[in-house]
Amino acid sequence: MINNRLYARLVLDKLNEVNYDASVAGLAYGLSADTEGLVLSIYGYNDKLHILLSNIVHEMKNLVVTKERFEVAKEASERSLRNWSLEDPLSHASYYSCYMLSEPCWTMEELKQALMGKGNAECCSLVGIRAEDVQGFIPRLLSRFHLEAMIHGNVSAKEALQYVDILQSKLKSEPLGWLSVELSRSRLLPTRTAPPRRHNYSRSADRQTQK
């Protein structure tokens, strides 16, 4: 999960070089990590979207993780995890509800420990995740994966398949079989065998108790 987050940050950092040209052309993109993998989104005028997608996938495949940019991405991730404790109680309640009811899911403290190399996190040294750890993680991440795409708007079925072909041809990854796909699962809460006991209090009983 932490490697996915750092990888997404580093790709977006690299894409800042083309961000201005894309925005002028009426295009936008996003790349984020969640518990099931990576989420790539592109939107804008459809006549140039295939060029934007091709450029993004090229950077994803050929990203070179420099120590300087890695430290910037790691610091930003650490700051984001640290600042989460300052968010409103509703956000905390929603997150911990998801944590208790879904798997896989991690607390912010667990993610912070993985980032800084504490606990039993994979791919971490004693001083935390390093640039070479993420660089080595990229080919493992992109060598085999399960691809799902949702394409809508002013686009034909043929054009939609061309977008998928760009992803598959440039990443050159082997498809991951359904039996190997790990999806989020919801936990079943135990059912009560008896209704909760209710206590009825009357004001007269309270007065007698106080006397």
Tens-place pLDDT, residues 60-78: 999 999 999 999 998 888 8
- Taking the whole predicted model, whether its pTM rises above 0.75 is answered as no
Number of domains in the chain: 1
**Is residue 72 domain-resident?**
yes
**Is residue 82 domain-resident?**
yes
Residue 192 corresponds to which tokens in the numbers above? 């009560």
**Is residue 54 domain-resident?**
yes
Tens-place pLDDT, residues 91-104: 888 887 877 777 77
Whose CA is closest to 141, among 166, 122, 161?
A: 122
* Cα(174)–Cα(142) distance, integer angstroms: 9
CATH number of the domain residue 18 falls in: 3.30.830.10
92 neighbors 100 (Cβ within 8 angstroms): no
pLDDT at 85: 79
Average confidence score pLDDT of the chain: 80
Band (126; pLDDT cuts 50, 70, 90): very low
Residue 31 corresponds to which tokens in the numbers above? 């790349």
pLDDT at 192: 66
Whose CA is closest to 102, among 182, 4, 5?
A: 182
* Cα(31)–Cα(11) distance, integer angstroms: 8
**What value does the mean pLDDT take over residues 180-188?**
68
Q: Which domain holds residue 99?
A: 2-190
Residue 85 corresponds to which tokens in the numbers above? 């404790």
**Is residue 60 domain-resident?**
yes
